[in-house]
Amino acid sequence: MKLATWNINSARARTDRILDVLQRHDLDVLALQEIKCKPEQFPSEQIEAAGYEIAAHGFNQWNGVALISRLGLSDIRTSFPNQPGFTKGTPDTEALYLPGDMPEARAIGAKIDGIDIWSLYVPNGRAVGDPHYHYKLDFLAHLNAYAQRTIATDPSAQFAFVGDWNVIPTDEDVWDPAAMEGGLYLSDAERAAFFAFEETGMREVSRNFATNYTFWDYQQLRFPKNQGMRIDFVYVSPALSTRAVGAEIDRDERKGKGASDHVPVIVEFSD
């Protein structure tokens, strides 16, 4: 299986690029984040004509995730167990993120060729200490708890958490750590939440094969200066990690007019 994850930053604005990446990399599965549309607005016709099935989840022009597969899609879910919600504009911090609230469109999962694949758009956090920051940490904690339960129930489970994690795991994953305003993305708590998945037994498999940034801001000529960060990752279960045989980061996809600010991260798994 050849699987890619990509924060597309509007599926409708970049339909041609989606089709090109699917065909150029001969992808079996493409997980998208920030599709920024409702499922009925997703550019399904062109993609289905190329031989793919689609599962999309979005409420409006914000967030949104999707899975595109030519290997079938089953058991589609639009949130993981106990995924926290977030209510904007409420001054009471404790009321901002409750497991029982309606979650934002930040996760979609499906069974694809025997693997449970989740496309994830982890909350940004906005600023260290902001209510959205605590929501981000809560999101990651509940996701990790889900992984822990799954592995404990079935150590042979094959599943993948892929997407935009909005965490810079190490200082080498950003052009200048000091340039990150307020330390967002690389705070101790964010990094601990990211590496907690390794403690659970999961493995981030793209780093074994590919080194590069995955995001360059549109401002201040960040891409031409190569002032980027690595925040898009492929975390997989212990059983699936042994099947990872290669990976690449398609840096060239950031070039040209109308590019997303992220690029695809591609991982190949053996049968």
Q: Would you state the pLDDT for residue 6? A: 99
Alpha carbon distance 23, 20 (integer Å): 5
Q: Write the pLDDT tens digit of every residue in 55-106.
A: 999 998 889 999 999 999 999 999 999 999 886 544 444 444 444 456 899 9
164 is in an annotated binding site: yes
124 a known binding residue? no
The fraction of the chain above a pLDDT of 90, given in percent, is 91
Identified catalytic residue from 28, 116, 164, 250: 164
**Ordered strands of the 232-236 beta sheet:** 74-77, 107-112, 115-121, 159-164, 232-236, 203-204
Q: Does 9 appear as a known binding residue? A: no
Active-site residue identified among 52, 121, 135, 185: 121
pLDDT at 94 (0 to 100): 47
pLDDT of 222 strictly over 70: yes
Least confident segment among 100-109, 128-137, 195-204: 100-109
CATH for the stretch 2-269: 3.60.10.10
Q: What Cα–Cα distance (Å) separates residue 258 from each residue in 11, 223, 248?
A: 12, 13, 22
Domain boundaries of the chain, sorted by first residue: 2-269
The rounded distance, in Å, linking the Cα atoms of 58 and 33 is: 10
Residues in the chain: 271
Q: What single DSSP character describes residue 229?
A: B
Q: Which two tokens stand for residue 205?
A: 């498999």
Complete DSSP assignment for 75-97: EEESS-TT-----TT-S-GGGT-
16 carries an active-site annotation: no
Is the per-residue pLDDT at 41 higher than 50?
Answer: yes
Question: Which of 39-53, 81-95, 147-161, 229-243 is the least confident region?
Answer: 81-95
262 a catalytic residue: yes
User: Has residue 254 got a pLDDT over 50?
Assistant: yes
Q: Please state, rounded to an integer, the average pLDDT across all residues of the chain.
A: 94
Mean local confidence (pLDDT), 107-129: 97
The reply to whether 185 belongs to the active site is no
In whole angstroms, what is the distance from residue 59 CA to residue 34 CA?
Answer: 11
Inter-residue contact 55 to 75 (CB < 8 Å): no
- Quick one: 145 exposed, middle or buried, by C-beta within 10 A (0-12, 13-18, 19+)? middle
pTM recorded for the entire structure:
0.95
Evaluate if residue 22 carries a pLDDT over 70: yes
154 is in an annotated binding site: no
Q: What is the pLDDT of residue 93?
A: 47
